[in-house]
Amino acid sequence: MKKFLNWFRQSRMDGELDRELQYHFERRVGDLVSQGMGEGEARGQVNREMGGLTQVREEVRDVWLTRWLRDFVYDLRHSARDFVRNPTFTATVVLSLALGIGATTALYSLVDQVFLHSLPVRDAQRLVLFDWTGERVYGGFGSYNILPYPWCADLKQQERYFEGVFCRAALTVHLATGANASPAAAEIVSGSYFPVLGVLPAMGRLIGESDEGLTGASPIVVVSHEFWQVELGGAQDVVGRKLMVNGKPMTIAGVAAEGFRGIDVGEVPKLWIPSAMASYALPPAMPNDVTRERTVRWVQILGRLREGVRLEEAQAALRPWFRRMLEEDTKLANFPKITAERRERFLASQMELSPAPQGHSRMHRTMTQPLWMLFGATGVLLALACLNVAGLFLARGFSRGREIQTRFALGASRGRIARQLFADSTLLALAGGLLGIALAPLVIEGLIAFLPQNAAGTALRSAVDARLLSFAFGVSLVTGLLAGFAPALQAGRGAALASMRERGGSGGGGMRLRRGIVTAQIALTLVLLIGAALFARSLGELLAKGPGFETASLVAFGIDPQKSGYSKDAANRMIAGLQEKLGGVPGVSAGGMATYALLNGGSWNNPMTIQGKTRFTTEGVAHLNAVSPGFFAVLGARIVAGRDFEDRDRRAGGESRQKVAVVNEAFAKKYLAGQNPLGVLVGVGSGTNVRPDFQVVGVVSDVRYRSMREDSEQVYFPVTEDSYFLGANFYLKVRGNPEAVVAGVRQLIREADPAMPPTYFRTLEEQVKRSLSMERMLATLTAGFAVLALLLSLVGLYGVMSYSVTQRTKEIGIRMALGATRGSAVWMVLRDALVMIAAGIAIALPFVWGLGKYVEAQLYAVKATDPLTIGAATLVLCSAAALAAIVPARDASAVDPGEALRGD
């Protein structure tokens, strides 16, 4: 604070003080020397007498500072009284600032939580994430940066560069503390996870190196502090208790330290499972001992750089080891059969390091761009609010011109008056900031609700912490200073002008500044408007295209029997039984089933080998699913050629029976063009050993599988007794109220097995909505920001225009008296507005051009430079602006020449 205030101190005063003290010092030294003292001794004595020059200087400065503060407090009181007298002005300013500051603070909170805040672990700055780029031949489970588990131990050997290396995989398990199980987020971790992160137990012990390698023989878990407190009641005897994880008993070995919430801000685990017990939690399709499997990717690997080691250095040092390891891998018995060319690319692939002080989160990837964009938008909104306040201050400054002139005349310095104006704006900005902070938690909660992930499963908070407070305070202060800057500048300059110019002149420097402000506002608003229009169009296109199936009266739910400890046979019986009974639930008219759920972001995907006229493998992956007969009919997807699956296809490829597949139109178009798709043989995988033995028996219309945005090539297989075990997603066509049906089905599942909860339960309309939550968030928020921006700048425009009309009343009167028409008076005023609008547009368009590439990835079926959208947004701006300008223009036409000339 002191530093900030010192900034205001004039250096002239400092210089004078130095001269004054120097004079004293030298006179005294001179006197002492003339009394016979040696020069050096004299200097020492004078220094002692004066108590050190620096000390004196500081004390005098304190005197100045006290005065400054006293005066500033006086100014603040003066401002406060003034504001109470002008409630409309005050409310307008405080509200616009609160809006800007509240929105910016809320977005900053999310930006901070999602990708600025470091993990609350020891020295998070040295954490790095390992990633594999290039031809990653191995398949796997999980998403983003997944690597084989044994690499973790290999990397640990690189002790010169890393203090430690650990790996982890995030997944969902069914967790039961009593009779009823529910889905819970969990992390499978290596023994080095807790030691490398530096996390300590709150109770009992954590997973350690001793748990490593005990495949299947170490059924322990560590629970989070929050889980212990909330769901285990904070009991002191939890260590040693048993939990049911995916239907298997596991013993609680300890509780992790309070405040540690895993390394993924988007998915906070309730428990940690040692990698030795991975098979308890991973899907059954995974190999038995994944911790030794070199050709299956399923963990993220992170490390801690040794002190002083640079990331690039470590990355370069890993190169020889990595290349050697890949070469070794190709000699493995289970190394995929691939072409020589692919093998070359495989061997040329690289290990890359990236800083990971925030841990690893899928949310980082999906949210970074949208959040920065929205943060930028709020920044623009704040700038607009700031400009508006500056404009209002300018207007008020002029209406207070007389007061300011009087104070000048009474000898107030320019700095003194500028400080008064600064005090005004600081006070208002802080008031706006306080209101903004009060609003922020509400806004943050709203934002979190918009987020694609389930808010309950994330660590995102709406609480305002010290960090956020200081951000908002800083923003308020800067806003205040900026908004006060223009009027202060004007006060400094205007004084001389004002005293010399006669009243009723046609607007001087102040008007020019205000016109500049309005032009800037129009430019900023147009940028936001165009952004909003682009996102709205993207969302509109996505909604118009739809998911490719009927969402009305469709309800979906999933079960995962394996996670409830079911064996393969038991799972088959359970699902078959459920399928039978579902038809009997009142209100269910038809049902279908798929192994993988639609529109939840994931899919089973793989390159395909196709045997048509020739044999070839697909370039990209096809998205695969196993579905029951009638699944397509329930969705309302059309069979455009061939047939749907039938009951007889269900038997898992018996000796004589032909295995069958259905492909979608996109697949047929891309890979089977120019031949009859029916009868073509396909196989999963791209290896040279893949046997294409599924015969295409049908072509189905396109439906969206992974997400609403993605048009993908798809291949469907019939569900078989093998696939049941992977879980099942049921799609039910219902008559009447879906709620009643949901209740009935829930009851049915509970009766079948209370320990097997449905993994989700929602209507397809909800599912589509969830799938589009990011697009919806962008469209809604940017539209909201754009409307606010439009309002702010129209208020600014209106203010300037009406002020200009009052200023020019006399001029207009004279012109009319000389025979000008009312129309020309209107035109004179409108022309003024048009110049500002045109200048604003001219400034904005190059920005739109430049910013386009940053938003392109979030758009759908529309380019960032789409002329139609830009034109429409510009039109909206122009018509709104014209509306705001027409009122003052009409006032101009209503000027009575006689009245105006008599006026003064």
Q: Which residues contribute to the site for another protein (CB under 8 A)?
A: 16-17, 19-21, 23-24, 27-28, 49-53, 55-56, 59-60, 62-64, 67
71/811 with CB nearer another protein:
71
Shortest Cβ 30–another protein spacing (Å)? 8
Burial of 728 (0-12, 13-18, 19+ CB in 10 A): buried
Tell me the pairing of strands 681-684 and 604-606.
Answer: unpaired
Coil, strand, or helix at residue 130? strand
Shortest Cβ 55–another protein spacing (Å)? 6
What are the two backbone dihedrals, phi and then psi, of residue 901, each rounded to the nearest 5 degrees? -75, -30
25/473 with CB nearer another protein:
25
Amino acid (1-letter code) at residue 358: Q
Helices (H), 452-508: 466-500
Alpha carbons 729 and 555: distance in angstroms, whole number:
10
**Lookup: tokens for 802:** 């009406």
18/899 with CB nearer another protein:
18
Shortest Cβ 413–another protein spacing (Å)? 14
Dump the DSSP string for 181-244. Answer: EEEEEEEEE-TTHHHHHT--EEEE----GGGTT-TT---EEEE-HHHHHHTSTT-TT-TT-EEE
Q: Which residue has the tokens 């006229």?
A: 613
Alpha carbons 475 and 436: distance in angstroms, whole number:
11
Shortest Cβ 78–another protein spacing (Å)? 19
29/170 with CB nearer another protein:
29
Helices (H), 606-699: 631-635, 665-671
33/482 with CB nearer another protein:
33
Shortest Cβ 447–another protein spacing (Å)? 51
Alpha carbons 572 and 564: distance in angstroms, whole number:
13
Number of alpha carbons in the 13 Å side-chain half-sphere of residue 627: 26
Shortest Cβ 497–another protein spacing (Å)? 31
Shortest Cβ 67–another protein spacing (Å)? 5
By the 8 A CB rule, do 347 and 327 touch? yes
23/849 with CB nearer another protein:
23
What are the distances in angstroms from CA 400 to CA 22, 124, 495, 513? 44, 55, 12, 17
Alpha carbons 382 and 389: distance in angstroms, whole number:
10
To the nearest 10 degrees (0 to 180), the angle between helices 466-500 and 509-545 is 140
Shortest Cβ 489–another protein spacing (Å)? 27
60/791 with CB nearer another protein:
60
28/414 with CB nearer another protein:
28
Burial of 357 (0-12, 13-18, 19+ CB in 10 A): middle
26/569 with CB nearer another protein:
26
3-state DSSP of 672-741: CCCCCCCCCEEEECCCCCCCCCEEEEEEECCCCCCCCCCCCCEEEEECCHHHHCCCEEEEEEECCCHHHH
What are the distances in angstroms from CA 444 to CA 386, 463, 690? 22, 9, 51
Amino acid (1-letter code) at residue 217: A
Shortest Cβ 49–another protein spacing (Å)? 5
Shortest Cβ 60–another protein spacing (Å)? 5
59/209 with CB nearer another protein:
59
Shortest Cβ 8–another protein spacing (Å)? 16
50/886 with CB nearer another protein:
50
Burial of 757 (0-12, 13-18, 19+ CB in 10 A): buried
Shortest Cβ 75–another protein spacing (Å)? 16
What are the two backbone dihedrals, phi and then psi, of residue 666, each rounded to the nearest 5 degrees? -60, -40
Alpha carbons 115 and 111: distance in angstroms, whole number:
6
Shortest Cβ 11–another protein spacing (Å)? 16
**Lookup: tokens for 749:** 């599942």
14/112 with CB nearer another protein:
14
What are the distances in angstroms from CA 658 to CA 480, 499, 609, 696? 76, 99, 17, 10
Shortest Cβ 50–another protein spacing (Å)? 4
**Lookup: tokens for 779:** 């469209």
Tell me the pairing of strands 220-223 and 248-256.
Answer: parallel
Q: Which residue has the tokens 């956020």?
A: 468
By the 8 A CB rule, do 730 and 582 touch? yes
Shortest Cβ 403–another protein spacing (Å)? 23
Shortest Cβ 258–another protein spacing (Å)? 51
**Lookup: tokens for 189:** 């971790």
410/544 with CB nearer another protein:
410
Alpha carbons 545 and 119: distance in angstroms, whole number:
41
Shortest Cβ 199–another protein spacing (Å)? 54
> 681: which strand partners?
611, 695
17/455 with CB nearer another protein:
17
Shortest Cβ 3–another protein spacing (Å)? 21
350/413 with CB nearer another protein:
413
